[in-house]
Structure 1
Amino acid sequence: MAEDPLILNPNGGMPRLLEIMRRLRDPENGCPWDIEQDFATIAPYTIEEAYEVADAIEREAWDELKGELGDLLFQSVFHAQMATERGLFTFDQVADTMSDKMVTRHPHVFGDENRDKSAEQQTRDWEVVKAAERASKDQTGTLDGVALGLPALLRSVKLQKRAARVGFDWPDISQVVDKIVEEAGELAEAREKLTQTEIEEEFGDMLFVIANLARHLKIDPEAALRATNAKFTRRFEGVEAKLAARGKRPEDSDLAEMDALWDEVKVEEKS
């Protein structure tokens, strides 16, 4: 380590991080775990780190955000190092590709186009540029290029947005609500008559339409569900605290008692 001034340099920036990653993957002297990884095994960690960034932002945990962004950056470095070893591309090429993309997609900032545009017009222009990029990759179908690895609710919204651009969409939000009622009825019926696979299909149909309702309401369904998860966690922890004050745990209680305490917690929150 005494001969590694870059690795020991606390201000080494990106060169330091890239060298650390290269050393971790060194076949002779690197870390056995890091050496064994490939794109597929690292991908779940990449997704997890992205969610941890979102979580820190949602909680306004600014003291944690720097570390979470570093963890996410490390995922890009890890993938780029594996790509470099295969002769596919380097981290610098990843950065250059993103820089080129941003310059191309913002001609009103880096080119001669008028910057005096509404956010809506800029979004439309952005979509035109992205459509041209997809066409250059032979992604000519309306739904081509919507990543399979996205969270299911988010991918549902993106698929529906693409279909809506070519007119495949309900024109009125009431029709979406009616469809949710219809799908809920089909799901209730499916419980009695269909196989588990068919029930899952009906449930998926209902979730898909709910995602569509979120799109029409301009709601991010992932964010909305995360907020509800947080609310449920907070309230249930409140129930546990009230039970603890009685010298009890949830398993020592019953639904009636916990439901009453739940209502108390809700009232206290609103007050």
Structure 2
Amino acid sequence: MQDQYSVEDLLHLMAQLRNPNGGCPWDLKQTFSSIVPSTIEEAYEVAEAIEIEDYEHLHEELGDLLFQVIFYSQLGLEQGHFDFSRIVDTLVRKLVRRHPHVFPSGELYGENDPSAVDEAEVKRSWEAIKAKERNAKGESGVLAGVTAGLPGLTRAGKLQKRAAQVGFDWPDINGVLDKIEEEVAELREAVAAGNREHAGEELGDLLFSCVNAARHLKIDPEAALRQCNRKFERRFGLVEATLRTDGRGPEEASLQELDQLWEQAKADEKQKPGT
């Protein structure tokens, strides 16, 4: 066995998994669309490992995500669309093109400019270059090219960021918070009227406004929600653990008791350092 495998070994492994003669039956029946859910899941597992600072296993999660790219490259090769080398070549060319402050000659191995670069100017240049690339693809409009397949919170933030670049934005967080309160009031009205469809629309407006608040505060809304999910799981686990000491489950407790145990779990957690 080799001391350390390489990307070339990984590409060979993928080809063997997809080999009609002796390959893996599961891998052989996969398509571009069938492995998309796995790609999304692997990306979130990388994000979670980083968020909880599980660096011991991060390299493994990154490997799982890399395998998704390798899988797509094999499918592309088989169908004559592209191969792994073209993926790498396209990526390197795009990154060189988008970093003229690092590669002023437009060449990967050309001489760089040692002078200091203003970060704000870099961001402006980056967006201008991306806009030019979108125009070259025939994608016109400020909001063009914001992938529809992104998670809703992430896509909302990107749409808002694009609009903000042309001045369509609240001047500060206070205007956003006022908008959130307005949307809550409108949601209450829709619920009171018993109009489920309208309530869904107002709820969407409220979520969109919350993402706007996150953007103004420079907080990733997806990361904030994932953190909240973990907190909820942790605290509800404490509620369950307390009930288990009496030989009961949450379904055997009243709502009032569950609320009391929840508040106790919150209080206990806040007393612990680092929480």
TM-score w.r.t. length of structure 2 = 0.90
Aligned residue among 20, 25, 31 for 1:27: 20
Q: Quick check: 141-150 or 261-270, which moved more?
A: 261-270
What CA deviation, in whole Å up to 9, does each residue of 1:201-230 have, x standing for no partner? 221111111111111111111111111111
Q: Quick check: 107-116 or 223-232, which moved more?
A: 107-116
1: CA distance between counterparts of 2:20 and 2:8?
20
Does 1:76 pair with 2:72? no
Residue identity matched to 2:210: I
User: Are 1:180 and 1:209, in contact at CA under 8 Å, matched by a contact in 2?
Assistant: yes
User: Are 1:238 and 1:265, in contact at CA under 8 Å, matched by a contact in 2?
Assistant: yes
Q: Quick check: 161-170 or 193-202, which moved more?
A: 193-202
Residue 194 of structure 1 and its aligned partner are, at CA, apart by: 5.2
Residue 192 of structure 1 and its aligned partner are, at CA, apart by: 3.3
2:134 corresponding residue in structure 1: 134
* Inter-CA distance 40–195: structure 2 relative to 1 (3 Å threshold): farther
2: CA distance between counterparts of 1:80 and 1:196?
45
2: CA distance between counterparts of 1:103 and 1:115?
18
The secondary structure found in structure 2 opposite 1:95 is helix
User: Are 1:25 and 1:31, in contact at CA under 8 Å, matched by a contact in 2?
Assistant: yes
2: CA distance between counterparts of 1:59 and 1:176?
30
* Inter-CA distance 103–241: structure 2 relative to 1 (3 Å threshold): same
Residue 58 of structure 1 and its aligned partner are, at CA, apart by: 0.9
1: CA distance between counterparts of 2:220 and 2:115?
28
What CA deviation, in whole Å up to 9, does each residue of 1:112-162 have, x standing for no partner? 556412333222221122112212211221111111111100100000000
2:108 corresponding residue in structure 1: none
1:44 corresponding residue in structure 2: 37
The secondary structure found in structure 2 opposite 1:178 is helix
Residue 98 of structure 1 and its aligned partner are, at CA, apart by: 1.0
1:189 corresponding residue in structure 2: 189
1:269 corresponding residue in structure 2: 269
Does 1:162 pair with 2:162? yes
2:227 corresponding residue in structure 1: 227
1: CA distance between counterparts of 2:152 and 2:115?
35
User: Are 1:84 and 1:90, in contact at CA under 8 Å, matched by a contact in 2?
Assistant: yes
2: CA distance between counterparts of 1:73 and 1:47?
12
2: CA distance between counterparts of 1:267 and 1:194?
37
2: CA distance between counterparts of 1:76 and 1:160?
29
Counterparts of 1:1-271 in structure 2, within 5 Å, are: 9=2, 11-111=4-104, 112-113=112-113, 115-193=115-193, 195-271=195-271
Residue identity matched to 1:158: K
2: CA distance between counterparts of 1:46 and 1:196?
34
Moved over 3 A (4+): 112-115
The secondary structure found in structure 1 opposite 2:150 is coil
